[in-house]
A and B are shown apart, each in its own frame.
Chain A
Amino acid sequence: MNEEQTWVSQAQQGDDEAFTRLVETYQTPVFNLCYRMLGEPELAEDAAQETFLRAYQHMHRYDEKRPFATWLLSIAAHYCIDKLRRRKFSMFSMDAEDDEGNTFELPDPDSPNPEGESIKGQTRDRVHSMLKDLDETDRAAIIMRYWYDYSEKEIADSLRLTVSAVKSRLHRARKELAGLWQEEEDDLLAEMERRHHESPAF
């Protein structure tokens, strides 16, 4: 039995300290999934906390044959999907604004040279903002596939879908993202052309 299995087993017997160790271990993957799903750090924090609370309350349901991370991410994904569905008809902005309309930026602790990272950052932001246009379940499938390297079978188990459904959802989502990417490139080119024509030197 490895360390994680010991913690899980102790947590199932009501050991809060063991569960805290699990929270420490999995806080980043769970938070990242929630952030990619919901788009805003505050919502992601709340969803990640709620995920761990649900996991704590339902530890007795956890099947030890399944990897703990998969079970945890499955709870997080379902929570985020439900949250997004409930908010579907209300206004939803990925521009990271708080209640007073102030914008905030996510700190990037691993970035020693912000200027050098800007192009990479822009690409990442593009992907992040494009994710919001995907269907909730497709989004969860894409996140699990590309951020967590989950196989189609693992995604199917986590999202309670068939493997073929996961495959078709991944294809559809990838095509949709590519379409959006292409549209943005076209807009960017058009904008550059317009500026070029409007410049005094022209």
Chain B
Amino acid sequence: MNPDVIQLYSLVGLRALAEYDAPEYRRVTDLSRNELEEKIRRLQASVSDEPLLSEIRARMSELELIQGESRSQTELAFLLKQLSNSCLQRAQQLALLQSRTMRSEGTSTQPQRTAVRDAERPKTSAPESEEFVKLAAMRLLRALPAYSAEFNVRLRNVEVDCLLRPADSRMPVIFIEAKVALRNEDVLRSAMNQLKKAAAGWGKGAFQVVLTTAVDRSLHLAGFEGRTGSPYLLVYDQEANEFIENTSEHLLAAAVRRVQDALP
């Protein structure tokens, strides 16, 4: 794939933007319209033997057609916006395809990988963990609308990954400690200790939850098997955005019961 084609698609999209939203166009680029058109012409010449050029030319013709045949300013803006977005989306699609191809061929896309990795760095030392904790917490909040979530909360010199706080103080606070995978008992024990320290003094006013995405089959889950009260073990499937084998059922039922008790 010639990267000029990708740029050309996005510039045609920009050309449409210049027509229907001048302030937004000025926000995103310093190029004048003439400079933009010149750039498009130059790129078109450089990709003259590319099979996708006819598709790009069709988009350019469409742009002219919309400008010539629209009956009102509203119609013009609407159609140009569609065209602009579709051109940019096509450019993004081709860029992603190219980046995948380059990665599989082993050629460099190093800046991209660095950026995506770095994007997560300043916030946490365990970005993957943070991602699934947030998603799981949001999934729980769907069933517990009277709660709000806080992440990486420090209490009594202990940091817990997530704290679900209720709007009403009569309802239980939910402490969540997350481990990407429970592969041995030490990991489980450290999560439990963390929760115990953080929730010390809360008594029945707190539920403790160990959250994970995978549990090793050989792991002896002392204290969890057949358990219906706190502490709870929740296994979250990030792709399905669901808790595996209804592991959240007991927690939600208990929390909802407390919410109902708290209501007048």
| Chain B associates with chain A | no
B contact residues vs A (CB 8 Å cutoff): none
A contact residues vs B (CB 8 Å cutoff): none
